[in-house]
């Protein structure tokens, strides 16, 4: 049986095995603590029998006006728990919080252009490739900015793809 609950400080000492995947970005402790303090609803963990961390999602809400959106900073599932719809459940939870509580227009995320399984999963969840960000990831790999419109974006304007790739310095960032 799986329990999905808010991430807590103790989980920071228990989730390292989930982050061993080479496609998962690993951050320093202060980064995780900032998310935990500022956006606790957007930081959720899937826990299995024996209190084993199966996966987690970490995100935030940011932007202004029609760019107000939920953002998935990281979602990862331990290899032995994949293909059980855990990522889908975590994504649905973040989307619901973004939509119902924070009244965001869309949810976005970045994914490595080479991570075909993740891209396909996000597309099944209703995300589209909004734009390519050249050399977004370390190692010079491009990133794909994927988006999904929420109920506030009735005309789905947030999902209209850009016609050209952009550079990381062209991204609009909100400071955390």
CATH code, 159: 3.40.630.30
For residue 147, what are the domain limits? 3-170
The mean of the pLDDT values for the chain is 92
How far is Cα 69 from Cα 95, in angstroms, rounded to an integer?
Answer: 10
Q: What is the count of structural domains for the chain?
A: 1
Taking residues 57-84, what's their average pLDDT? Answer: 94
Would residue 176 count as lying in a domain?
Answer: no
pLDDT greater at residue 138 or residue 152: 152
CB contact at 8 A, 53 and 11: yes
Would residue 25 count as lying in a domain?
Answer: yes
pTM of the model: 0.91
| Residue 176 pLDDT | 45
3-state helix, strand, coil in the chain (%, to 5): 35, 30, 35
């Amino acid at each position: 049986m799986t329990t999905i609950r808010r991430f807590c400080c103790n989980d920071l000492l228990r989730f390292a095995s989930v982050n061993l995947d080479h496609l998962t970005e690993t951050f320093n402790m202060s980064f995780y603590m900032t998310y935990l303090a500022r956006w606790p609803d957007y930081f959720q963990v899937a826990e299995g029998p024996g209190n084993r961390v199966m996966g987690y999602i970490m995100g935030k809400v940011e932007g202004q006006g029609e760019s107000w959106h939920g953002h998935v900073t990281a979602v990862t599932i331990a290899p032995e728990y994949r293909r059980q719809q855990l990522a889908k459940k975590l994504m649905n939870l973040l989307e619901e919080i973004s939509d119902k509580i924070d009244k965001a227009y869309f949810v976005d995320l970045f994914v490595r252009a080479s991570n075909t399984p993740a891209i396909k999963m996000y597309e099944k969840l209703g995300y589209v490739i909004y734009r390519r960000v050249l050399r977004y990831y370390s190692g010079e790999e491009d990133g794909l900015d994927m988006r999904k419109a929420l109920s506030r974006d009735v005309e789905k304007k947030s999902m209209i793809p850009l016609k050209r790739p952009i550079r990381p310095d062209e991204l609009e960032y909100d400071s955390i």
